[in-house]
Amino acid sequence: MKTQKIPYVAKPVGKNGLIDFTKEENDVWRTLMTRQLQIVQGRACDEYLRGLEKLNLQPDCIPQYPEVNKILTETTGWTLEPVPALIPTDYFFELLSKRKFPAATFIRRREELDYLQEPDIFHELFGHCPMLTQLPYADFTQRYGELALSASTEDREMLARLYWFTIEFGLINTPAGLRVYGGGILSSAEETVYCVESEEPIRKPFDAIEALRTPYRIDIMQPVYFVLSSFDTLLDLLNQDLIGLIKEAKKRGMHKPSYNLKEHTE
């Protein structure tokens, strides 16, 4: 049975850059962060955990963007840009190209604690910001924005897959075993466990052309993940002709979706 979609409205940002969160919203943050802090241990990559430690996010209340920006600016030159949940594509890519990460100003409601289709402030702060303190990830994200901004509409649809299988749902092999670095996973209690420990999904060594040929759905546990051998792979990708890779992917053709096409939401 489907539940009714709950509308979310961006909270206003004051002149000082602060957002006025309610007690319930701070309680939701506390519930989410306390739970997820336990889950990411032994599943998130060391780079993410170091970033989390550097940011020093507190579970008591939702961190304010100015305090997070201070740390991001000092480490990799990034800042968070408060935006509504959904923004125009051009604006999204423009922000990334300027080392500004678009970040929502609302948090999910308690009735949608385990899954929210729209990115909220927990997804942005806990999922993405720790990795934005790491240069390979931060540089790749900026370069992605630059390339996507100059790409055609059709090529952007392809590039969205590359973003999905790296920045949002990327895995990496480490000496300690398979670990997570994708923000979409690390802000999800269920998928953080599933992607590393379940025998159901297919895990493929990262290949840019294969990722570009692979469709996805945003509202399910991912059936396919791509695994980096190291973060150097992202840096190497920056030096490749991504538009050329897109052309090659189109030439080879798209893979058959490994999910139900009736509710395709890519």
- Catalytic residue chosen out of the listed positions 97, 128, 188, 191: 128
The 10s digit of each residue's pLDDT in 14-26 is 999 999 999 999 9
Decide if 150 is catalytic: no
Decide if 264 is catalytic: no
Residue 84 lies in a domain: yes
User: Is 4's pLDDT higher than 80?
Assistant: no
User: Is 89's pLDDT higher than 90?
Assistant: no
- Catalytic residue chosen out of the listed positions 47, 81, 168, 191: 168
Domain carrying residue 183: 23-256
Decide if 258 is catalytic: no
- Catalytic residue chosen out of the listed positions 47, 81, 94, 187: 187
Q: What average pLDDT is seen over the chain?
A: 92
Decide if 210 is catalytic: no
The 10s digit of each residue's pLDDT in 31-83 is 999 999 999 999 999 999 999 999 999 999 999 999 999 999 999 999 999 99
The enclosing domain of 162 has a CATH number of 1.10.800.10
The 10s digit of each residue's pLDDT in 167-222 is 999 999 999 999 999 999 999 999 999 999 999 999 999 999 999 999 999 989 99
Residue 2 lies in a domain: no
| pLDDT value for 170 | 98
The 10s digit of each residue's pLDDT in 33-43 is 999 999 999 99
| pLDDT value for 8 | 84
Query: For the range 98-107, what are the long-range contacts, defined as Cβ-Cβ under 8 Å and sequence gap of 24 or more?
Result: 98/142, 98/145, 99/138, 99/142, 101/128, 101/129, 101/132, 101/141, 103/65, 104/10, 105/10, 105/11, 105/12, 105/13, 105/19, 106/8, 106/9, 106/10, 106/11, 107/21, 107/25, 107/28, 107/29, 107/62
User: Is 7's pLDDT higher than 90?
Assistant: no
User: Is 5's pLDDT higher than 60?
Assistant: no
- Catalytic residue chosen out of the listed positions 123, 124, 188, 191: 123
Residue 1 lies in a domain: no
Tally of domains within the chain? 1
Please give the residue that has the higher pLDDT: either 175 or 87.
175
